[in-house]
Structure 1
Amino acid sequence: MLVKQNLKEFLSHLDTGVTLVAVSKTKPNADILEAYEAGHRIFGENKIQEMVNKYEALPKDIQWHMIGHLQSNKVKYMAHFVDLIHGVDSFKTLKEINKQAKKHDRVIKCLLQARIAKEDTKFGLQFSAIEEILAMDELTELKHIKIVGLMGMASFSSDAEEVSDEFKSLKTFYDKLNDGGADFSILSMGMSGDYKIAIENGSNMIRVGSAIFGARNYLT
């Protein structure tokens, strides 16, 4: 019952209009079912094979989000069910998602991952590269994907001002794109350690695991 209690407690303090992606990576199906029985339907995984296994075993009205870095050659394994892909950072990947989604007569929602952190280890596109992708004529030919917003990960830092500035920069860019006609609806920013700062800076989707499921099971 701990997962259900944690989830209800967390959601009770969550701002209206902010969507919670419950990060279930490494967690057993029983924990996910407990959250499901409490009414939650959106779960995030960072490894495709683990997500596929869970999809096959768990209720089919769960919305599965791919939140990890995505390799193009693995898209085919999840194209028949994934609801939203958070970390798209190349046009090549968009084309592969479109190709695989077409095989299943689906339209897969995607977020373009912007690089906002100062750390060298983060994936993501520069703002200028995102603008280039959105302006490409070839993008309009991809009928089986829909870019619905942006995702960004801030620096892993104890400097709240630095993290806030990074999130703020993405929100400003997100608004700029929408003002230019992008019609985006999702700004995915914030994880367990910084989601409060992300929400303060305009995030409407957060990815949180430990506050709901407890510490990650690194050995599973």
Structure 2
Amino acid sequence: MPVNSEFYKNIVEELKTKNVTLVAVSKTKPAEEILELYKLGQRDFGENYVQELSEKYEQLPKDIRWHFIGHLQSNKVKYIAPFVSLIHGVDSKKLLTEINKQGEKLNRVIDCLLQVHIAREETKFGLDENELHELLTTNYTNLTHVRIRGLMGMASFTDDMEKVRHEFKSLKLLFDKYSLAFHNSPFTILSLGMSADYKIAIEEGSNMVRIGSLLFGKRS
């Protein structure tokens, strides 16, 4: 299926007026389709799997900003550390420490978002409020090769959009709390919202959305 270029052009204009970054979620999609969006001006792409991301990095233009948006295992950080632009799903001190270790080896500071568990589902990963507080206030100041840029969350998989809105609101409150506390830092990104709920996410304060199926069609 070809890329939905009409939707892309419309959403880019819409998001530009709201200062929202679009991450085009290209997992399982071939390099040719990514190139189609690239030629339209898209530079931020999101991938869920380390091997697939590494292969696409080799194949595609080097000014693409690659976002790792899946659940990242500590033993796989080394494969994407040299080039990844932003790691969205940091959900433990152990993972953050490993990213720092790989960044130190490369003499590179790696940007990260902390993933907070906002969904009422056991299958979603993320820090709870206490873990987030501990990590931000005591646990990472000695990690000089990671930079925490903000927070990321995934809503429950449900048709109940009021429930989704409530979950987004809860993360926006946490984001506001810590962005005030770290007002001199680059803690400025709130990554919330995907194809089904990005409009609600933006209404609730998201400034980065992760959209796949509306751009590339359903995954096979």
- The TM-score, its normalising length taken from structure 2, stands at 0.94
Structure 1 stretches of 4+ moved >2 Å: 1-6, 12-16
Q: Which deviates more, 174-183 or 59-68?
A: 174-183
SS of equivalent to 1:13: helix
In the alignment, what sits opposite 2:78? 76
Residue pair 2:3, 2:33 contacting (<8 A) in 1 also? no
Q: Percent identity?
A: 59
- Whether contact under 8 Å (1:3, 1:35) holds in the other structure is no
Where structure 2 has 5 or more consecutive residues not aligned to the other structure, the ranges are none
**1:129 maps to which residue?**
131
The aligned counterpart of 1:175 is: 176
Please list the CA deviations of residues 146-195 of structure 1 after superposition, one character each: whole Å capped at 9, or x if unmatched. Answer: 00100001111111111101000100111011222264110000011111
Unaligned runs of 5+ in 1: none
Instruction: Please state how far the C-alpha of 1:3 moved relative to its aligned partner.
Output: 4.0
Deviations 1:65-88 (A, max 9, x none): 000011000000000000000000
- How many residue pairs end up in the alignment? 216
Amino acid at match of 1:84: L
Superposition deviation, residue 9 in structure 1: 2.6
| Residues 1:98 and 2:100 are matched in the alignment | yes
Alignment counterpart, residue 39 of structure 2, candidates 37, 40, 60: 37
CA distance in 2 between counterparts of 1:190 and 1:131 reads 23
State whether residues 3 and 34 of structure 1, in contact with CA within 8 Å, keep that contact through their aligned partners in structure 2.
no
Structure 2 residue aligned with 1:109: 111
Question: 1:119 aligned to 2:121?
Answer: yes
- Tell me, yes or no, if the aligned pair for 2:3 and 2:37 is still in contact at 8 Å: no
In the TM superposition, 1:1-220 aligns within 5 A as: 2-14=3-15, 15-136=17-138, 138-181=139-182, 183=185, 184-217=187-220
**Preserved contact between residue 68 and residue 87 of structure 1 (Cα < 8 Å):** yes
Any idea what the Cα deviations from partners look like across 1:116-168, whole Å, max 9, x if unmatched?
A: 011111100101110101122x5122111000100001111111111101000
| Aligned mates of 1:166, 1:212 — CA distance in 2 | 25
Instruction: Give the TM-score taking structure 1 as reference length.
Output: 0.94
Question: By how many angstroms is 1:103 displaced?
Answer: 1.4
Does the Cα contact within 8 Å between 1:83 and 1:108 map onto a contact in 2? Answer: yes
* SS across alignment from 2:9: helix
SS at structure 2 position matched to 1:140: coil
